Chain A
Amino acid sequence: MEKGRSYTLRIWRQENATKKGKLAKYKIENISPGSSFLEMLDILNDELSKKGEDPVHFDHDCREGICGMCSLFINGRPHGPDEEITVCQLHMRVFPDKQTITIEPWRAKAFPVIKDLVVDRTAFDRIVQAGGYISVNTGAAIDANTLPIPRVDAESAMDAASCIGCGACVATCKNASAMLFTAAKVSQLALLPQGKVERKIRAAKMVAQMDIEGFGACTNTGACSAECPKGIDLSVIARMNREYFTSKLTT
């Protein structure tokens, strides 16, 4: 087994939402290249706890790249240097020995810092509450196979539905826009026949909520899609724009 590596970490520390934060420096040694990035932070936290220092707070849960909880900005990139994964799937083997690693929270007006690297992303929930659903009550469904859906549409809907709501798209966007997140949900439901009934009102309401939350406008730089851990395609934004403008033109 390869010998452990050592790193210098610069980590954003901020006591709570109202206090000012700053980058603090830590040394860490003997990290196995097979360890995940979050396991490396676990080890740091264990060491800090032993020394009587408050551990670094960061969001994480499933550690399988699907819950969307982990949200670290590493060396200037959301979820770090590797492609199409979340931080919890990032492994230390991609960081050369003795490297300095800078770790910051998502930064966006709509995602205020709660503590250290933990931010408040409930704005995303409110965008979905504005219309990211099909209005069907439990028990009111028809047999699933009475509604054939062309495979290509089902697959495209699935591509869009893969969004994990982590917020990397917002964190990487220079305008802190939530277009990719919102458009992914709008696209998924617009592509399926079940979702067509409410398509106009859905796009209009979700876009309006996005603005209320303080997310920025989209200037089509495409950073969101490039950094998306699930590879959500930029074309979902074009589809949402279409949905949105149709809703404005025909209501």
Chain B
Amino acid sequence: MVLDSKIPDGPLAEKWTKHKFNLKLVNPSNKRKYDIIVVGTGLAGASAAASFGELGYNVKAFFYQDSARRAHSIAAQGGINAAKNYTNDGDSIFRLFYDTIKGGDYRSREANVYRLAEVSNNIIDQCVAQGVPFARDYGGLLDNRSFGGAQVSRTFYARGQTGQQLLLGAYSTLSRQVASGKVKLFPRTEMLDLVLIDGKARGIITRNMITGKVESHSAHAVVLATGGYGNVFFLSTNAMGCNGSAVWRAHKKGAIFSNPCFTQIHPTCIPVHGDQQSKLTLMSESLRNDGRVWVPKTVEIAEKLRKGGIKPKDITEEDRDYYLERIYPAFGNLVPRDVASRNAKNVCDEGRGVGETGLAVFLDFRDSIKRDGVDVIKAKYGNLFQMYEKIVAENPYETPMMIYPAVHYTMGGLWVDYNLQTTIPGLYASGECNFSDHGANRLGASALMQGLADGYFVLPYTIGDYLSEMPYDKIPEDHPEFKKAEDIVNQRIEKLFSINGTKTVDEFHKELGLIMWEKCGMSRNEKRLKEAKEEIKKLREEYWKNVKVLGVNEELNMTLEKALRVADFMELAELMVDDAAIRNESCGGHFREESQTPEGEAKRDDENFTFVSAWEFQGEGKPEKMHKEELKFENVKLTQRSYK
């Protein structure tokens, strides 16, 4: 297996322009002869599907929600980065590129990241033209705020609902294409397998979630835009339905999976309250613009606080440890997410955590309210404060918020080349489900940017290059390969019903999540990873002997949906553990205890690990084979990341 990233030659800043010119085109009147399947209608999927429709391709868009507008991009709060430099503070495409490479701890591809920074400005223009109501100042021009890992203000936002507004923008353009007849929507439909014919991706097998019907859909190319797999951990900030099945099925059909262990643990989530919880809620990183993170200076004070003997406001300035400001004076509360999360874990491990469980730190707005007044803070974060109050029943204007890290985003995903094509010809991956742009850690406000960059400005060019070489002939949906794949899916469904065991799907999922959080979470070591691998194997075996799936296939059956997803999570989890085990260095969100500086900071090992891991499926029950894509840095110098 040779991994050809197809990065164009030439200077970094000219690569994309040159490449676009070199890509082959499909004549406008021939585009209608090609069908494209898009799975997922978040930012990456909806923008791609709409853009393909505008170009004239026939598009089929699939999603598990009841409406394309509900994909989980909608929940992104803080903002979207772009190198507009409207604030005159020294931003540029190169700086956005540099920050993203550095933020990702030098484990992403220079060329892809530069292109992302390059098209970031077009995204803002496009969204404004669609009617996205970004925040503006009194002169009527666009406003910016700051996010972690950057020393410029480059984040565009729409209150605390930026993801919602961008997705509704993409959804509206998608709706326009539906009206024009170029896009056909398939709501409440889940992809359960990928179909290859003559080595090329030629369609998918889906299950209609209302009727249970397993169906085949044929096309000339397939785009996966199915998001991340953070729900492996059971508790995460992902939506309940987010899953890794589409990418995992593609992986088992030959698509290489890269960096599966790179998981982002977001520092500002509402802490876990008990074992009845099924979902974690994120509080936007933008809060760290004005909130100060602290814990009590000593274990004794923290204990008193946890028992309710004292209130946060009783703790004097001298007894507070604003640990991020203390350790990282240059970036302070705006260090990247991985750094903020790990430090929160450290102070809690020392026994200085707050809240009933001791697994929380304060995010305090007292000083900014004093400085700017309640009204200014309310205007910036009103909806986030309201959300916090509804969940925790405490008023964050008066008492500090409590936060704790939670699984949020997965940087790993399907390996793609510069054209966003996977190792299966005709299969593309865009947005969170590919591995390409964020390295070992994603910076805040960059996920929205990547989703829309891929969908609006990359795929519409690169997919034409592939299609131009494809014959127009359509493969009928009763082709033997489709029938074979349908049979396998049907057998899997029947098998799940037939087990009729004693444990519910959720019980298995919770157990899996706990193993992953404890042993492949914020801090990892060889011994615990080995244990995790064995435990996951055992759990998976038990699953196929003892899971209980009720109801029938032929109607809405949410237990079955979940059972299929959890079955795939169980396999994906093992690959995440394998990947974490081979990467004996600390980088970005991946912290190996064996690789740290004397001060306990992450220590990267560039000599041995400047590569993207690329896992190849070898067959059921066989260990996967790891390939490497070596990373070359020609435009930035690798330095130990320091935010001090």
Q: A residues touching B (Cβ–Cβ < 8 Å)?
A: 1, 15-16, 31-32, 34-36, 38-40, 42-43, 46, 49-50, 52-55, 57, 59-69, 82, 84-85, 89, 91, 93, 114-115, 118, 120-122, 124-125, 128-145, 147-151, 154-155, 157-158, 161-162, 164-165, 188-189, 192, 194-195
**B168-180 near A? 1/0 per residue, CB < 8 Å:** 1001110110110
B385-410 contacts to A, CB under 8 A, are 386-387, 390-391, 393
Beta-carbon contact of B240 and A61 below 8 Å: yes
Give the 6 A-B residue pairs with the shortest CB-CB distance, closest first.
Answer: A148-B140, A133-B172, A141-B129, A141-B125, A158-B133, A63-B279
Indicate if B550 sits at the interface (CB-CB under 8 A).
Answer: yes
B239: chain A residues at CB < 8 Å are: 61-63, 67
* B contact residues around A16 at 8 Å (CB): 555-556
Cβ < 8 Å to A, chain B residues 235-273: 237, 239-241, 273
Q: Give the complex CA separation of A150 and B141 in angstroms.
A: 8
A144 to B83, CA, bound (A): 13
A15 to B47, CA, bound (A): 36
Q: What's the nearest-Cβ distance from chain B to residue A32, in Å?
A: 6
Chain B stretch 104-143: residues in CB contact (< 8 A) with chain A: 122, 124-131, 133-142
Q: Which of B553-574 contact A (CB under 8 A)?
A: 555-556, 558-559
Q: How far is the CB of B47 from chain A (nearest CB, A)?
A: 8
- Among A68, A91, A194, contact of B131 (Cβ-Cβ < 8 Å): A194
Residues of A within 8 A of B460 (CB): 138
> Which of chain B's residues have a CB closer than 8 A to the CB of A62?
70, 72, 74-75, 239-240
B67 close to A (CB within 8 Å): yes
Is A134 touching B131 in the complex (CB atoms < 8 A)? yes
> Is B161 a contact partner of A66 (Cβ separation < 8 A)?
yes
Within 8 A of A (CB), among B337-386: 356, 386
If A121-B66, A145-B142 touch, whether A60 touches B240 (CB-CB below 8 Å) is: yes
Query: Hey, which chain B residues are within 8 Å of A144, CB to CB?
Result: 84, 124-125, 127-128, 134, 142
Whether B240 contacts A125 by the Cβ 8 Å rule is: no
Contact B131 A143 (CB under 8 A): no
B159 on the A face (CB < 8 A): yes
Contact (Cβ within 8 A) A129 B504: no
Instruction: Flag whether B274 is at the interface (Cβ < 8 A).
Output: yes
Q: Which of A39, A67, A121 has the most CB of B within 10 A?
A: A67
B277 within 8 A of A: yes
Is the Cβ of B387 less than 8 Å from the Cβ of A64?
yes
Compute how far the CA of A107 lies from the CA of B544 in the bound complex, rounded to whole angstroms. Answer: 40
A161 touches B140 (CB 8 A): no
Contact between B506 and A46, CB atoms less than 8 A apart = yes
Q: Are A61 and B72 in contact (CB under 8 A)?
A: yes
Q: Is the CB of B555 within 8 A of A115?
A: yes
Complex CA distance for A65 and B178, rounded to whole angstroms: 27
Tell me whether B139 and A148 are in contact (CB under 8 A): yes
Closest residue of B by beta carbon distance from A61? B239
B137 touches A122 (CB 8 A): no
Q: Assuming the A-B contacts A66-B75, A138-B50, are A54 and B550 also in contact, with contact meaning beta carbons closer than 8 angstroms in the complex?
A: yes
Q: How far is the CA of A10 from the CA of B47 in the complex (A)?
A: 42
Is B610 on the interface with A (CB-CB < 8 A)?
no
Q: Could you say which residues of chain B place their CB within 8 Å of the CB of A158? A: 133, 135, 158-159, 165
Chain B residue numbers with a CB within 8 Å of A155 are: 133
- The reply to whether A39 and B175 contact each other, CB–CB distance below 8 Å, is no
Given A49-B559, A145-B142, A188-B133 in contact, is the A67-B74 Cβ separation under 8 Å?
yes
Given A122-B66, A125-B175, A125-B185 in contact, is the A194-B75 Cβ separation under 8 Å? no
B159, B460, B558: most-surrounded residue (chain A CB, <10 A): B558
Inter-chain contacts of A43 with B (CB < 8 A)? 276
